[in-house]
Amino acid sequence: MTDALADPHYRPHTAGEPANGGPRDIVILGSTGSIGTQAIDVVLRNPDRFRVTAISAAGSRVRLLAEQAHQLRVQTVAVSDEAAVGPLRELLAELYGPGEALPEIIAGPGAATEAAALECHSVLNGITGSIGLRPTLAALQADRVLILANKESLIVGGPLVKALAKPGQIVPVDSEHSALFQAMMAGRRQEVRKLLVTASGGPFRGRSRAELAAVTPADALAHPTWDMGPVITVNSATLVNKGLEVIEAHLLYDVPFDRIEVVVHPQSYIHSMVEFVDGSTIAQASPPDMRMPIALGLGWPDRVPDAAPAFDWSKASTWEFFPLDEDAFPSVALARHVGSLGGTAPAVFNAANEECVDAFLAGRLAFTGIVDTVAQVVEEHGTPEPGTSLTVENVLEAEAWARARAVELARTSEATGV
């Protein structure tokens, strides 16, 4: 990945830009999830700028998927669960009028990957988890602009993604990385001293490690600021999500780990900051609403008017900042270590964490056991062999091992009550 890839001073990759100035054709992966539904809201409010031609989803929310297809009049619907095809066809037939052509349905484990390579201007990857890696690579190989909300694909497959991406081809959607992207416009790349990634602190800010031991799944799912899916919400509570974002920032902006700092900001108004060599710090601030970074990704390099609400500066407000308590939340330090190891270590970290979150939500693992177990899996995985090149196959192999080992350790923890 060249520095230019995520450099906001570069104009975006322009393959597929409408020649007549019409709306951009967009493919949305993960359309029924949080990012996907908010992206569709942005599109529907800006029909002159964007047109969705294909959507994909796992298939657990078939009715919503069918309603989205009908509302957007997409050409293609991709669903990874083949068992969902029958119900999906029935729902589409109900929604579409007599004689109306139904969208094509792509089904199977590779459906999202196939959708990512369809003809369009941009692909929004809003899939959760490392299953987003193959679609990310497919979009880049097909020369599409990749609007990246699936941080895991970059984290587990960093070298693979970097090898394929052209300058300006990736626009980040995570609120933190969108903020860094915008703040970096204030200076030249060589003038950046430090990246400051903000964290809300989750629902357990201020608690000690001992106090966190008794946290329940219901406690962890009660995020004070954002409305997200269960995995991301628990990751926010453990701050694993912030650790993943540190790795992502390192990969996107080629800034060393020792120059990427996490700062706790409970209000989540400032989404991240860039400190420059002259001592100036530039912050990107907006009310917590993911439609703003999504709209920026869809429209870049142009902003979408009224994409999300702005601050009401006539009202008083207080913004607070705190240092990260790394004793209570060791996940960020572990992520830095994993990112420094490179190779398949980030894939092991991410996969083990997903299994540990599942075990915690099912009541089989203590809250503090999530990161403790992930750390043990990472340690057992060891240091990558020097000179080992990363492939999709060895990423998947490392993930499979990490998942199995995490499940085994969680089962042992449940049995012993530790």
Binding-site residues, please? 32-35, 58, 150-152, 174-176, 200, 223, 229, 236, 241-242, 245
What 8-state DSSP symbol labels residue 307?
A: S
51 strand-pairing partners: 25
Q: How far is CA 77 from CA 105, 107, 133, 337, in A?
A: 5, 8, 19, 40
Residues making up the binding site for Mn(2+): 174, 176, 245
What 8-state DSSP symbol labels residue 47?
A: T
Residues making up the binding site for NADPH: 32-35, 58, 150, 152, 229
Query: Is 296:178 a contact under the CB 8 Å cutoff?
Result: yes
Query: Is 13:166 a contact under the CB 8 Å cutoff?
Result: yes
First to last CA, the chain: 43
- 10 Å Cβ neighbour count for 209? 12
Residues making up the binding site for 1-deoxy-D-xylulose 5-phosphate: 151, 175-176, 200, 223, 236, 241-242, 245
Q: Which amino acid is at 145?
A: V
> How many Å apart are CA 324 and CA 193, to the nearest integer?
20
For residue 414, give the nearest of 355, 360, 359, 365 by alpha carbon.
365
Query: Is 26:122 a contact under the CB 8 Å cutoff?
Result: yes
Give the DSSP letter string of 148-205: E--HHHHHHTHHHHHHHPPTT-EEE-SHHHHHHHHHGGGS-GGGEEEEEEEE--GGGT
